[in-house]
């Protein structure tokens, strides 16, 4: 199995547990450049899993960055809300994309990418 095969498997597994995934990636500026430049970069894949599950990814380049990331994760987990709706189609096991938008300027809504 190559890296491109591993992302869908890992993403499916993360969606199955139905929790936001937070990723702390160790590295500096050169790792950030690698993550943006190469489509198959593990950094990009990990960030994708975090985003698709409603979590976040952080590039940690020192002790202060780790403390800042921990504070952001704590704040995210303290400010969670449940939204419910009745889907128009009966469940069939397929993945359904989901978009949630807020009307507060500058606010970012973190949500999983969909549901089954």
Span 70-89, pLDDT tens digits: 999 999 999 888 888 888 88
Mean pLDDT of 26-51: 75
pTM of the entire structure? 0.69
Q: Calculate the dihedral angle through the C-alpha atoms of 43, 44, 48, 51, rounding to the nearest 10 degrees.
A: 70
Matching residue, tokens 């994760």: 73
Task: Report yes or no: 61 and 27 within 8 Å, Cβ to Cβ.
Answer: yes
Domain assignments of the chain as residue spans, ordered by start: 3-115
Q: Are 116 and 91 in contact (CB under 8 A)?
A: yes
Burial degree of 48 (CB within 10 A; 0-12, 13-18, 19+): middle
């Amino acid at each position: 199995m190559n890296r491109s095969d591993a992302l869908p498997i890992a993403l499916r597994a993360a969606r199955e547990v139905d929790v936001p995934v937070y990723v702390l990636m160790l590295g500096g500026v050169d790792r950030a450049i690698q993550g943006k430049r190469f489509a198959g970069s593990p950094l990009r894949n990990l960030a994708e899993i975090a985003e698709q599950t409603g979590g976040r990814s952080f590039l940690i380049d020192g002790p202060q960055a780790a403390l800042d990331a921990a504070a952001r994760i704590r704040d995210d987990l303290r400010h969670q809300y449940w939204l419910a709706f009745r889907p128009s189609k009966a469940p069939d096991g397929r993945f359904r994309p989901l978009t949630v938008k807020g009307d507060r300027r500058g606010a970012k809504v973190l949500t999983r990418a969909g549901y089954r």
